[in-house]
Amino acid sequence: MYTLGEFIIKNRDRFSYSTESLLRLFSSIKLASKAIHKEVNKAGLTEEIIGSSGITNVQGENQQKLDQFAHRVFIESFKSRNVVCGIASEESKDFIVIKGKQEDISQNQYIVLIDPLDGSSNIDVNVSIGTIFSVYMRKSPIKMNLTIEDFLQKGNQQILAGYIIYGSSTILVYSAGNGVHGFTLDPSFGTFYLSHYNICFPKMEKIYSINEGNYYKFSNGIKKFIRYCQEKKDNRPYTARYIGSLVGDFHRNLIQGGIYIYPKTASYPEGKLRLLYECNPMAFLSEQAGGKASDGNQRILDIEPTKLHQRSPLICGPKGMVSKLEEFIVDCE
């Protein structure tokens, strides 16, 4: 079995950027994810890590103690490797500039956008949670200060995206534009080993994931698609599966074959998920796995961001299912 580092080195000819810097970047991600894995596995044993922090974040959401921990540990880990020059986190109002060592400044070219802990509302009930990350190359000149434009890049400019799911096992899934690969943490060695090579959405479509409790807030196109999923026809009805954790729902659908739907509603007319921290990385992974990602009207990766915490609807999964839902949306407009 290949370790994550061995796999990157073996495939170094596929990268158009420094393998060494990529290894350092992943070293940061692995270090932080192992720290979070450790805390998640003992969350029920200590009040220091479980429950609400009593703070409302920039999104207007109650921040969990583990949200704060995950945010801090990723920021500190990225700072320690002299490879990232800027970070935007779902938990911070503004982007964070990392001042690297002068001799390393030419190597600190990565911009990272991250949701340190997705699905944090599920922490207290021991349901899978995760981390989502997205990586770009900086646009501003090396010797100039970072600008907001370095972070407001279209999703199609991503050079790397992935997530870590903390569940029955801890798995890191990523794509650098050459397929989607998964690595499972062996906690006895503290090493991520290749466990899922070249993941693609299965041809058999069988799951739809949406919070049907919001049914009466959905557009007619979304309602019509739900009824379509429930029809007894062809290989339907599909099975409804919804965890309420984007990483958990997406990972299951990627492995088993299904569509994830978080549409705009009357309560969230612009959608609820964050374009930069959630939608873009999951859209990148979807396309690399042979699927499709849309906001219902256009490709997610083609959306022009205008602000750090911009929201968007997200529909992603196998091409056939996403295209069928888009048809219902268009027909009902």
Examine the domain organization and report whether 62 and 92 are in the same domain: yes
pLDDT at 301: 98
Report whether pLDDT(332) > 70: yes
Which tops the pLDDT comparison, 126 or 206? 206
Residue 326 lies in a domain: yes
Q: What is the rounded average pLDDT for all residues in the chain?
A: 90
Does residue 180 sit in the same domain as residue 234?
no
Residue 53 has pLDDT above 60, yes or no: no
Last residue of a domain, one of 165, 196, 227: 196
Residues 286 and 221 in one domain: yes
Among residues 149, 164, 196, the one where a domain terminates is: 196
| 202 within some domain | no
| Residue 103 clears pLDDT 50, i.e. is over it | no
pLDDT digits (tens, 9 = 90+) for 279-327: 999 999 999 999 999 999 999 999 999 999 999 999 999 999 999 999 9
Strands 207-209 and 239-240: parallel
> Is residue 73 scored above 90 in pLDDT?
yes
Task: Flag whether 82 is in a domain.
Answer: yes
Q: Domain holding 235: CATH number?
A: 3.40.190.80
Q: Which residue has the tokens 């320690």?
A: 80
Do residue 112 and residue 141 come from a single domain? Answer: yes
**Residues 124 and 268 placed together within one structural domain of the fold:** no
Assigned domain for 168 exists = yes
Lowest-pLDDT range of 119-123, 150-154, 206-210: 119-123
Q: What is the pLDDT of residue 248?
A: 96
| Opening angle at CA 224, ends 220 and 226, nearest 5 | 120
Q: pLDDT tens for residues 3-34?
A: 999 999 998 887 777 888 899 999 999 999 99
Q: Is 48's pLDDT higher than 80?
A: no
pLDDT at position 13 = 82
Q: For residue range 30-43, what is the model confidence (pLDDT) as tens digits?
A: 999 999 998 888 76
CATH of residue 39: 3.30.540.10
Q: Which of 258, 245, 250, 322 is nearest to 281 (CA)?
A: 250
- DSSP letter at 279 equals I
The DSSP output letter for 215 is G
Question: Are 168 and 252 contained in the same domain?
Answer: no
Q: Which of 187, 184, 311, 165 is nearest to 247 (CA)?
A: 165
Task: Report the pLDDT value the prediction gives residue 27, as an integer from 0 to 100.
Answer: 95
Q: Are residues 175 and 307 in the same domain?
A: no
- In percent, the amount of the chain with pLDDT more than 70 equals 91
Query: Which whole number is the average pLDDT over 106-124?
Result: 84
Per-residue DSSP letter, 49: T
Counting the structural domains of the chain, the total is: 2
114 and 212 co-located in one domain: no
Asked if 185 and 312 sit in the same domain, the reply is no
271 within a domain of the structure (yes/no): yes
Alpha-carbon distance of 49 to 65, in angstroms, equals 5
Grade residue 122 by pLDDT with cuts at 50, 70 and 90: confident
Q: What confidence category does residue 64 fall into, taking pLDDT thresholds of 50, 70 and 90? A: confident
* Whether 189 and 215 share a structural domain: no
Q: Residue 144's pLDDT is what? A: 82
Are the CB atoms for 275 and 129 separated by under 8 Å? no
- State which residues form the domain around 251: 207-332
Residues 65, 131 within the same domain: yes
Q: Is residue 201 part of a domain?
A: no
Residues 29 and 156 in one domain: yes
pLDDT of residue 57: 62
Choose one of 171, 196, 221: the last residue of a domain: 196
pLDDT of 100 over the 80 cut? no
In a domain, 221, yes or no: yes
Alpha helix stretches (DSSP H) within the chain: 4-10, 19-40, 65-79, 220-230, 246-256, 280-288, 319-332
> Is residue 262 over pLDDT 80?
yes
